[in-house]
Amino acid sequence: MNDWIVDVLANKKIDLGSSSQANLPAPSPIEFVLSDTTKQNILKAIMKFGRLMYPHTLEVFDYSSYGSRVIKSQFKSSPNTVAQMIFQLGYYKLFGRVPVTWEPSQTRKFKLGRTEVIRSCSIEALEWCKAMENDGADWSARLEKFKIAVKAHLSYSQQASEGQAVDRHLLGLRLSLKPGEEIPPLFQDPVYKESTSWKFATSHMPSENFSGFGYGAGK
């Protein structure tokens, strides 16, 4: 649907009608009569919405130096994978560690399939980030580690799309626990808890006309 809308707008395939002024009557205001209770509820809703939105910020970055064609033809990589590696490096440069990252993979090929999790944060991505921040590393070594990180991400993405990743399976096992049933040690392990404390939630929105990436960063 997104592709269709962007395509018809970009190529002017929709007749938007005449641009001349229509002979319509001037609009008139509609006065709403609200009770004091309704006014108070509206005010409460406004304040609640403000509290929910206050911790959030929205920034749009438009990068126009090169795009998906260059990444595919010259870098021999996936635009999504390159973006995921950049997210890892950006976080590493700021905080000195790579973030636990959530990226969806479609599993629609399976009946009732929806998504699985691609874990963009990998040992290979970490090694590449270390090389990029190591002043003693030459660019050939950095490039080699980048290729290894890209290959690891593509491999995990393929596994996830085939239903061979771990997160949905473990989620199903956890949700199958009956009330009062003892929680298995795995789900109480600090490493497991840390690995499911998502710092980044990312998503790729591919289109022939616009290739966008969205991500949310948590504390």
pLDDT for 87 equals 92
- The secondary structure element, H or E, covering residue 200 is strand 200-205
Structure tokens at 28: 């008139």
Q: What phi and psi, each to the nearest 5 degrees, are found at residue 103?
A: -135, 130
pLDDT in the model for residue 216: 65
pLDDT at 215: 66
Q: Which amino acid is at 104?
A: P
What pLDDT digit, counting tens, does each position of 123-181 carry?
999 999 999 999 999 999 999 999 999 999 999 999 999 999 999 999 999 999 999 99
Question: How far is Cα 90 from Cα 149, in angstroms, rounded to an integer?
Answer: 15
How many whole angstroms separate alpha carbon 15 and alpha carbon 51?
Answer: 42
Pick out the chain residues at pLDDT < 70: 19, 21-22, 206-207, 209-219
Instruction: Tell me what pLDDT residue 11 has.
Output: 83
| DSSP structure string for 2-19 | HHHHHHHHHTT-S-----
In the prediction, which pLDDT does 214 show?
A: 65
What per-residue confidence (pLDDT) applies to 68? 82
pLDDT given for residue 213 in this prediction: 64
Domains along the chain with CATH numbers: 79-201 (3.30.559.10)
Q: Which H or E run includes 156?
A: helix 139-161
pLDDT for 218? 58
The token pair at 197 is 């404390």
What backbone phi and psi angles, to 5 degrees, belong to 12? 50, 50
Cα dihedral across residues 202, 100, 115, 160: positive or negative = positive
What is the pLDDT at residue 210? 65
pLDDT of residue 21: 67
